[in-house]
């Protein structure tokens, strides 16, 4: 981990903290307004400070994290988790939204194509509808 007096760019810190797979994706998310630094939109060249609050929107989830350490090197997941702490309110809000999405049925992922048995049933149904019967 880097020393606290080092300067680390926001996109590099997000990449090192494993919020995004590449720095380019982190830059796109910052430029797109998906990351807010202390409640305000920011640029990817912004230097991160210990104690800063970040709002990070990823898909349906919105995380509020506090920067605990600075690092410009991407390490393993345990090292990345030491760089920040998610607020309790953020965790509760994410769990509530996930439960709501699950209750609404958006967690279901229906197949787009029928399997072999279902195709046979569809063909059989259509044949019966057209008056073609199996012998």
Instruction: Give the domain CATH number at 105.
Output: 3.10.290.10
Q: Would 1 be classed as within a structural domain?
A: no
Q: Would 135 be classed as within a structural domain?
A: no
Residue 17 near residue 67, CB atoms below 8 Å: no
To the question of pTM greater than 0.85 for the whole model, the response is: no
Q: Return the beta strands (E) in 45-107 as ranges.
A: 53-58, 61-67, 84-86
Name the 3-class secondary structure at 131: coil
Q: 40-63 pLDDT, tens per residue? A: 999 999 999 999 999 999 988 999
Q: 82-131 pLDDT, tens per residue? A: 999 999 999 999 999 999 988 887 555 666 788 899 899 999 988 888 87
Residues spanned by the domain of 52: 10-130
- Degrees, nearest 5: CA angle 88-91-94: 150
Total domains present in the chain? 1
Q: Would 90 be classed as within a structural domain?
A: yes
Q: Would 49 be classed as within a structural domain?
A: yes
């Amino acid at each position: 981990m880097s020393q606290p007096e080092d300067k680390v760019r926001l996109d590099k810190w997000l990449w090192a903290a494993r919020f995004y797979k590449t720095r380019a994706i982190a830059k796109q998310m910052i430029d797109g307004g998906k990351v807010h630094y202390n409640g305000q939109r920011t640029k990817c060249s912004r230097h991160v400070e210990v104690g800063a609050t970040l709002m990070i929107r990823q898909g349906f989830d919105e995380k509020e994290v506090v920067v605990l350490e600075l690092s410009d090197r991407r390490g393993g997941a345990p090292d990345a988790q030491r760089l920040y702490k998610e607020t309790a309110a953020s965790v509760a809000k994410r769990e509530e939204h996930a439960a709501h999405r699950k209750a609404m049925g958006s967690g279901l992922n229906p197949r787009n194509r029928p399997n072999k048995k279902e195709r046979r049933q569809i063909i059989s149904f259509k044949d019966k509808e057209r008056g073609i019967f199996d012998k």
